[in-house]
Each structure stands twice: as structure tokens, then as C-alpha cells.
Amino acid sequence: MSGDDVWLIGAAMTPFGRFPDKDLIDLAADATLEALADAGTTMADINVLALGNVYEANSHNGQRLQKQVGQTGIPVYNVVNACATGATAVRVVLMSIAAGESDIGLAVGVEKMGKMGMIGGAAKPAAEKKVFSPKGRYGSVLKTEGVLGTGLMPGVFAQAGTEYALAHGVTATQFAKVAQKNHAHSVHNPLAQYRKEFSLAEILSAEMISYPNTLPMCCPTGDGAAAVVLVSGTRLRTMDPDVRRRAVKISASVLTADPWSESGQVQPDVNTLTRQAADAAYDKAGIGPDDLDLVELHDCFATAELLHYDNLRLCEPGGAGDFIDSGAPWRDGKTPVNVSGGLLSKGHPLGATGVANIFEVATQLRGEAGARQIEGARVGLTHVIGLASACAVHILEAGARR
């Protein structure tokens, strides 16, 4: 436990799903109080708070949360960063600790989406204009969605998938196998929004949302929250032996945005920033893809997960189709991926997702994941990416060997 390291000592998440009788702050408070209890601490100790939320981001939810769990005057950072919002909140706390401004902090991610329909789906069409006139930076005279291709999330991630498929010969069935795996994994996770297994045939014959992704290959919308408590290595040394024994080291925390690319202006490139984040994280942690005991990656659509096998260097370059065929990312495979059920089945309340992934990996590294435990897991990686784009990768390691 070097004084420079940052450690996780508390983690919690609410179940993901639809909770009409809880408001946004109820969900955030549930995760917060549970994470604080898990860490054996209270708001009295916390030096810094970061709260991630997307859809109500202008409501200063960090301060609203303090009013429900404890107002101690500490600084609050309200964070929004696409689907990397929660992970960015974690990183804000980590940076505050690394900068020496704080030695114990709380990061919370929360979202209440209810039954919004498909993630990033079409908005209600506006009333037709009477007279065409060019508007905006593209000089467009009407809404171009569906006229000049699609820019909505299901279509963007579908096209990212077919680009890889055309280049490397991946089939629609191989993409569907990703969803088959994650839905099967979710059966073991009591916190998952859906816990229903699907056969490959059921997935392939379901409603086509945006080829090759059928309905069970698209993540649902929902409500949920997750929270983590982080401390400096120096502070950790002063803490109770039980807290130290369960502490998980944050060996790397990396955030990236899109570098310029020729095609990026018309079709977001979800690959390059993920590769750059992963490579930087492996370098920082001194850990390679072969060292990972599990990965929680951003499977907002089945096509996305397959691409990220390659982007996170889990498979041979161009070999993501073979990787899923081999069974490697199943929970009994070489590199278990999304043993929580992933976004496809566990759910994707946007702001919570990047904290919930860290909760999952930390819980596994502590050996406390119950029926979904990967035996002997010591090292794990989390990945989130949101269009804009923002990508966060964290590498976590179990503490002293038990």
C-alpha cells in the first residue's frame, strides 16, 4: 500500500430496473448509505463528493443528495460525460485524492429513465415546416435522420459492427452469441434488470432493431444507482484491519475523448478512443490483457461488445468473431466478460453504469459475488464509452492475498 495509490474500501449498487416509487435522490441515497456502511465510515469522514447523472444534470444532484445523507460543507462536483458519466465521477474523486486535496471521497452515479423506450431512440417528430430554409451548421432544410442515414445510437453501434464485420468476416450469428452469453450470465445476478436466458435462435429471430442487432441485442433503459468510497494509501494504513483486508487497489484510471479522424464527423468512431484508453491503462497498471481475471465492458449493443474484445486487446487483432466462438468471454472461459449480465441484461441507467461496473469488479475481487463469483479473481478491468465521445477504463487489483 504505497502512499500514492488510491484504494476502494466501499461499494454498493441498487438493483437496476424500474422503481416508480423512488425519486432520483432516493436511489442515490440508497447506494450512498450502503457504500458508506460497506466502507465502515460515515459522511462525517468524507472529504469530497462527485455525483454523476445525465438526464437531470442541471439540478445539482450532488447537493440534493447531501441534503438527504449529510451536509458537511465538503466540495461537490456534479458530473456529466455521456455514458462515461459515472466513471468520470469516480475519476474526479480519484484525482482529488491523487492531488492531495482529499484522502477519502465518495463517488455516486445515478439515473432515473423509467420506461423511456429504446436508448437513444427517435424523438417525437416535430411539426413539418411550412417553407424550407437552410438552418444550422449543415444548412439543413429538414430533419436528416432517416433521410441521410441514421445517427441514432442503435444505428451508430450497428454500423460500427458491420464495419468490423465487412473488414473481418464476422457473422450476424457471432454478434448474437454476445447477447446469448450476457443474458445467460445475468441469471446469476440478483441486481440485474432482466434475468432471463435466451437461445441463439430466439435472439436471431427477434424484432430487428437495426441490423444486425435484434431487440435482445440492445440494452434496456431503467433506473438505478451505484456508489464507491475511495481512500489514499496513506489513509488506508490507519484503518481497521477488516477494511484493509477487503480494500481493492485502483491500479489505473484513464479517460479519453475522440481524437480527430476522417470519418468521425459522420460516424462516431468507438474504437480509437477505447484503444487509447486501454493501452494507457495497461501501461499505467503494468498489467496486460492476459493478466485479467474478468472484464466488465460497455455492451450497450451486442455489436459493441464484440468490437471491444479487439479494442481492449482481449483477442487477436481482427479475431473478435473467433473469440466469442471459442467461448473465451463466457464465465467459465479464458477471459470472462460481463459476468454481471452486462448492460444488455443487468441494465444501463446511464449515470450509474460506470460506477456499477466498478462495483461488480470490486465485489468479484473481494470474493463476495455469490452465485456469480469468478473463483480466485485477482485483477479486473472496467470500460465504459458514451457517444460524444467519452471513454473510461479502470484496472482494479485485489489487495493483500488472503
Partner 1 sequence: MPHQIPVVAYLRLGDPPHLTSAACTRCGALYFDRRNACARCFATDFTTRSLANEGTLRAFTFVGRAKRPYVSSVVALDGGGVVKANLLGVDRPEQVTPGMRVVLDTFVAGVDDEGTEAIAFGYRPLDGAPGGGAENDHGGTR
Calculate the alpha carbon distances from 58 to 73, 109, 184, 320 in Å.
20, 15, 37, 40
What is the identity of the amino acid at 170? V
DSSP sequence for 314-340 = SS-TT-HHHHHHTTTTSTTSSS-B-TT
Could you tell me the three cell numbers for 329? 468471454
Q: Which of 330, 335, 249 is nearest to 292 (CA)?
A: 335
Closer by beta carbon to partner 1, 15 or else 161: 161
Count of residues in contact with partner 1, rule CB under 8 A: 46
Give the gyration radius of the chain's Cα atoms. Answer: 21
Nearest approach, Cβ of residue 156 and partner 1 (Å)? 9
2 lines the binding site for partner 1 (CB under 8 A): no
Of 47, 35, 94, the C-alpha closest to 253 is 94
Least CB distance to partner 1 at residue 178 (A): 16
* Min CB(305)–partner 1 separation in Å: 16
Closest CB 270 distance from partner 1, rounded Å: 12
**Per-residue contact track with partner 1, 295 to 334, x per CB under 8 A?**
----------------------------------------
Task: Give bridge partners of residue 395 from the DSSP assignment.
Answer: 252, 381
Q: Based on CB atoms, which residue is closest to partner 1, 267 or 373?
A: 267
Quick one: which of 47, 102, 210, 353 contacts partner 1 (CB under 8 A)? 210
> What is the nearest approach in angstroms of partner 1 to the Cβ of residue 217?
12
Q: Does 172 bind partner 1 (CB under 8 A)?
A: yes
CB 279 within 8 A of CB 393: no
Counting every residue written for the chain, the total comes to: 402
Closest separation in Å from C-beta 112 to partner 1: 24
Provide the residue type at 319 as one letter: G
Q: What separation in angstroms does the CA of 15 have from each of 19, 42, 153, 206, 369?
A: 10, 22, 25, 26, 14
155 binds partner 1 (CB under 8 A): yes
CA 217, 194, 323, 271 dihedral sign is positive
Task: Choose, by CB under 8 A, the member of 44, 126, 266, 400 that binds partner 1.
Answer: 266
Binder among 23, 187, 188, 211 for partner 1 (CB under 8 A): 211
Contact between 217 and 84 (Cβ < 8 Å): no
Residue number, 193 or 210, with CB nearest to partner 1: 210
Q: Which stretch binds partner 1 (CB under 8 A): 51-59, 220-228, 263-271, 317-325?
A: 263-271
Q: Does 202 bind partner 1 (CB under 8 A)?
A: no
For 213, the enclosing helix (H) or strand (E) is strand 213-214
Work out how close the CB of 143 gets to partner 1 at its nearest, in angstroms, rounded to a whole number: 9
Query: CB-based contacts of 270: which residues, under 8 Å, 6+ apart?
Result: 157, 160, 304, 307, 311, 385, 387, 389
Q: Judged by CB, which is closer to partner 1: 73, or 136?
A: 136
> C-beta of 216: minimal distance to partner 1 in Å?
14
Stretch of residues binding partner 1 (CB under 8 A), selected from 79-87, 157-165, 232-240, 343-351: 157-165
Q: Are 26 and 255 in contact (CB under 8 A)?
A: no
Site for partner 1 in 123-152 (CB under 8 A): 128-132, 134, 136-142, 144, 146-151
Q: Which one-letter amino acid corresponds to residue 311?
A: N
Among residues 15, 62, 109, 212, the one that binds partner 1 under rule CB under 8 A: 212
Please report how close the Cβ of residue 364 comes to partner 1 at its closest, in angstroms. 34
Interface residues toward partner 1, by CB under 8 A: 118, 121-122, 128-132, 134, 136-142, 144, 146-151, 154-155, 158-163, 166-167, 172, 207-212, 260, 262-263, 265-267
